[in-house]
Protein backbone atom coordinates (compact mmCIF):
# COMPACT_ATOMS: atom_id res chain seq x y z
CA UNK A 1 0.00 0.00 0.00
CA UNK A 2 1.21 3.49 -0.82
CA UNK A 3 1.88 5.30 2.47
CA UNK A 4 0.76 8.91 2.62
CA UNK A 5 1.31 9.72 6.27
CA UNK A 6 4.77 8.62 7.36
CA UNK A 7 5.70 8.41 11.05
CA UNK A 8 7.45 11.54 12.27
CA UNK A 9 7.62 13.98 15.15
CA UNK A 10 5.68 17.27 15.13
CA UNK A 11 7.11 19.90 17.48
CA UNK A 12 5.42 23.02 18.78
CA UNK A 13 6.22 25.58 21.47
CA UNK A 14 4.25 23.72 24.16
CA UNK A 15 3.81 20.16 22.90
CA UNK A 16 5.61 17.48 20.94
CA UNK A 17 3.64 14.86 19.02
CA UNK A 18 5.61 11.60 18.94
CA UNK A 19 4.55 8.45 17.07
CA UNK A 20 2.77 6.34 19.69
CA UNK A 21 4.84 3.37 20.93
CA UNK A 22 4.53 0.81 23.71
CA UNK A 23 7.18 2.74 25.65
CA UNK A 24 4.51 5.45 26.15
CA UNK A 25 2.12 3.05 27.92
CA UNK A 26 3.03 3.80 31.57
CA UNK A 27 2.78 7.57 31.05
CA UNK A 28 -0.52 7.22 29.14
CA UNK A 29 -1.93 5.08 31.94
CA UNK A 30 -1.06 7.87 34.38
CA UNK A 31 -2.57 10.51 32.09
CA UNK A 32 -5.86 8.65 31.77
CA UNK A 33 -6.13 8.38 35.56
CA UNK A 34 -6.21 12.19 35.75
CA UNK A 35 -9.97 12.66 35.55
CA UNK A 36 -10.81 8.93 35.20
CA UNK A 37 -11.34 9.59 31.51
CA UNK A 38 -12.29 6.00 30.66
CA UNK A 39 -15.55 6.50 32.60
CA UNK A 40 -16.91 8.97 30.04
CA UNK A 41 -19.64 7.00 28.26
CA UNK A 42 -19.78 9.11 25.09
CA UNK A 43 -16.13 8.79 24.05
CA UNK A 44 -13.50 6.09 23.88
CA UNK A 45 -10.55 6.56 26.20
CA UNK A 46 -8.78 3.41 27.43
CA UNK A 47 -8.80 2.40 31.08
CA UNK A 48 -5.32 2.31 32.64
CA UNK A 49 -5.15 -1.48 32.28
CA UNK A 50 -6.23 -1.29 28.61
CA UNK A 51 -3.57 1.16 27.38
CA UNK A 52 -1.37 -1.63 25.94
CA UNK A 53 -4.27 -2.86 23.80
CA UNK A 54 -5.07 0.71 22.77
CA UNK A 55 -1.50 1.12 21.49
CA UNK A 56 -1.61 -2.27 19.73
CA UNK A 57 -4.80 -1.22 17.93
CA UNK A 58 -3.19 2.07 16.89
CA UNK A 59 -0.22 0.14 15.47
CA UNK A 60 -2.60 -2.13 13.51
CA UNK A 61 -4.27 0.97 12.06
CA UNK A 62 -0.86 2.22 10.93
CA UNK A 63 -0.95 -0.52 8.28
CA UNK A 64 -4.08 1.15 6.88
CA UNK A 65 -2.30 4.50 6.69
CA UNK A 66 -3.13 5.99 10.08
CA UNK A 67 -0.69 7.47 12.55
CA UNK A 68 -1.23 7.80 16.29
CA UNK A 69 0.73 10.20 18.46
CA UNK A 70 1.60 10.48 22.12
CA UNK A 71 1.21 14.11 23.19
CA UNK A 72 4.13 15.30 25.32
CA UNK A 73 3.94 18.51 27.35
CA UNK A 74 7.30 20.22 26.80
CA UNK A 75 7.34 22.13 30.09
CA UNK A 76 7.04 19.00 32.24
CA UNK A 77 8.45 16.52 29.67
CA UNK A 78 5.41 14.35 30.42
CA UNK A 79 3.13 12.40 28.09
CA UNK A 80 -0.34 13.83 28.70
CA UNK A 81 -2.58 12.19 26.10
CA UNK A 82 -2.96 10.97 22.56
CA UNK A 83 -4.34 11.96 19.16
CA UNK A 84 -4.14 10.49 15.67
CA UNK A 85 -4.67 10.66 11.95
CA UNK A 86 -7.20 7.92 11.18
CA UNK A 87 -9.67 6.79 8.52
CA UNK A 88 -7.11 7.75 5.91
CA UNK A 89 -8.25 7.91 2.27
CA UNK A 90 -5.00 8.19 0.30
CA UNK A 91 -6.64 8.32 -3.14
CA UNK A 92 -8.73 11.33 -2.14
CA UNK A 93 -6.12 12.91 0.17
CA UNK A 94 -8.50 12.93 3.12
CA UNK A 95 -8.08 11.87 6.72
CA UNK A 96 -9.71 12.31 10.09
CA UNK A 97 -8.07 13.72 13.19
CA UNK A 98 -9.52 11.82 16.10
CA UNK A 99 -9.08 9.63 19.16
CA UNK A 100 -7.94 12.79 20.94
CA UNK A 101 -7.82 12.91 24.71
CA UNK A 102 -5.72 14.66 27.34
CA UNK A 103 -5.26 14.32 31.08
CA UNK A 104 -7.95 16.40 32.76
CA UNK A 105 -5.53 19.07 33.99
CA UNK A 106 -4.60 19.84 30.34
CA UNK A 107 -8.16 20.02 29.03
CA UNK A 108 -9.47 23.47 28.05
CA UNK A 109 -5.91 24.75 27.80
CA UNK A 110 -3.83 25.80 24.81
CA UNK A 111 -2.67 22.17 24.37
CA UNK A 112 -5.50 21.10 22.05
CA UNK A 113 -5.16 24.24 19.94
CA UNK A 114 -1.46 23.65 19.41
CA UNK A 115 -1.86 19.93 18.72
CA UNK A 116 -4.48 20.62 16.07
CA UNK A 117 -2.38 23.47 14.62
CA UNK A 118 0.57 21.08 14.20
CA UNK A 119 -1.50 18.28 12.68
CA UNK A 120 -3.48 20.52 10.34
CA UNK A 121 -0.33 22.26 9.10
CA UNK A 122 1.24 18.88 8.43
CA UNK A 123 -1.89 17.68 6.60
CA UNK A 124 -2.42 20.75 4.41
CA UNK A 125 1.13 22.04 3.96
CA UNK A 126 3.17 18.83 3.80
CA UNK A 127 0.69 16.17 2.69
CA UNK A 128 -1.39 18.44 0.41
CA UNK A 129 -4.63 17.17 1.96
CA UNK A 130 -7.92 18.12 0.34
CA UNK A 131 -9.93 17.81 3.54
CA UNK A 132 -9.50 16.88 7.18
CA UNK A 133 -12.45 15.54 9.14
CA UNK A 134 -13.34 15.48 12.82
CA UNK A 135 -16.01 13.22 14.26
CA UNK A 136 -17.55 13.08 17.71
CA UNK A 137 -20.53 11.67 19.58
CA UNK A 138 -23.68 13.79 19.45
CA UNK A 139 -23.72 13.90 23.26
CA UNK A 140 -20.09 15.03 23.55
CA UNK A 141 -20.97 18.72 23.58
CA UNK A 142 -17.55 19.75 24.91
CA UNK A 143 -15.84 18.05 21.96
CA UNK A 144 -18.31 19.54 19.47
CA UNK A 145 -17.65 23.04 20.80
CA UNK A 146 -13.88 22.49 20.74
CA UNK A 147 -13.98 21.32 17.12
CA UNK A 148 -16.07 24.33 16.10
CA UNK A 149 -13.61 26.67 17.90
CA UNK A 150 -10.83 25.29 15.71
CA UNK A 151 -12.66 26.62 12.67
CA UNK A 152 -14.11 23.36 11.38
CA UNK A 153 -17.58 23.46 9.87
CA UNK A 154 -20.26 20.92 10.70
CA UNK A 155 -21.05 18.73 7.69
CA UNK A 156 -23.89 16.83 9.29
CA UNK A 157 -24.94 14.06 11.64
CA UNK A 158 -24.65 10.36 10.83
CA UNK A 159 -27.69 8.95 12.60
CA UNK A 160 -27.36 5.49 14.19
CA UNK A 161 -23.83 5.48 12.85
CA UNK A 162 -22.26 2.99 15.26
CA UNK A 163 -23.25 0.43 17.86
CA UNK A 164 -21.43 1.00 21.15
CA UNK A 165 -20.15 -1.82 23.34
CA UNK A 166 -23.31 -1.60 25.44
CA UNK A 167 -25.55 -1.88 22.36
CA UNK A 168 -26.65 1.75 22.25
CA UNK A 169 -26.72 3.36 18.81
CA UNK A 170 -24.44 6.38 18.44
CA UNK A 171 -25.19 9.46 16.36
CA UNK A 172 -21.90 10.87 15.03
CA UNK A 173 -21.41 14.57 14.27
CA UNK A 174 -19.05 15.15 11.32
CA UNK A 175 -17.01 18.34 10.87
CA UNK A 176 -14.36 19.20 8.29
CA UNK A 177 -11.82 21.77 7.21
CA UNK A 178 -11.17 22.05 3.46
CA UNK A 179 -7.83 22.96 1.90
CA UNK A 180 -9.01 26.37 0.71
CA UNK A 181 -10.22 27.16 4.27
CA UNK A 182 -6.87 26.35 5.84
CA UNK A 183 -5.24 29.82 5.52
CA UNK A 184 -8.05 31.46 7.52
CA UNK A 185 -8.18 28.59 10.03
CA UNK A 186 -4.38 28.78 10.43
CA UNK A 187 -4.55 32.52 11.03
CA UNK A 188 -7.26 32.01 13.67
CA UNK A 189 -5.31 29.25 15.44
CA UNK A 190 -2.12 31.33 15.39
CA UNK A 191 -4.02 34.26 16.90
CA UNK A 192 -5.41 32.00 19.66
CA UNK A 193 -1.94 30.62 20.42
CA UNK A 194 -0.31 34.06 20.46
CA UNK A 195 -3.02 35.62 22.62
CA UNK A 196 -2.71 32.83 25.22
CA UNK A 197 1.05 33.29 25.40
- pLDDT at residue number 75: 96
pLDDT tens digit string along 43-73? 789 999 999 999 999 999 998 899 999 999 9
- pLDDT at residue number 195: 86
Tens of pLDDT, residue by residue, the chain (197 residues): 458 999 999 999 999 999 999 999 999 999 999 989 888 777 789 999 999 999 999 999 998 899 999 999 999 999 999 999 999 999 999 999 999 999 999 998 999 999 999 999 999 999 999 999 999 999 999 899 999 999 999 999 999 998 987 888 989 999 999 999 999 999 999 999 998 75
pTM to 2 decimal places: 0.93
Nearest of 18, 2, 1 to residue 115 by alpha carbon? 18
- pLDDT at residue number 1: 44
Task: Assess contact for 43 and 137: CB atoms under 8 A.
Answer: yes
CA distance 161 to 147: 19
Nearest of 110, 86, 76 to residue 5 by alpha carbon? 86
Nearest of 121, 124, 131, 122 to residue 152 by alpha carbon? 131
Amino acid sequence: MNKWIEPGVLTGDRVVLEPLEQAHAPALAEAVRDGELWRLWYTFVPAPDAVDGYIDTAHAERAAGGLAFAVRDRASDTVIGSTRFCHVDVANRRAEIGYTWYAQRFQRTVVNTECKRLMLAHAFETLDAIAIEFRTHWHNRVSRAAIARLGAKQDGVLRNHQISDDGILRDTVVFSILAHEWPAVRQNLDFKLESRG
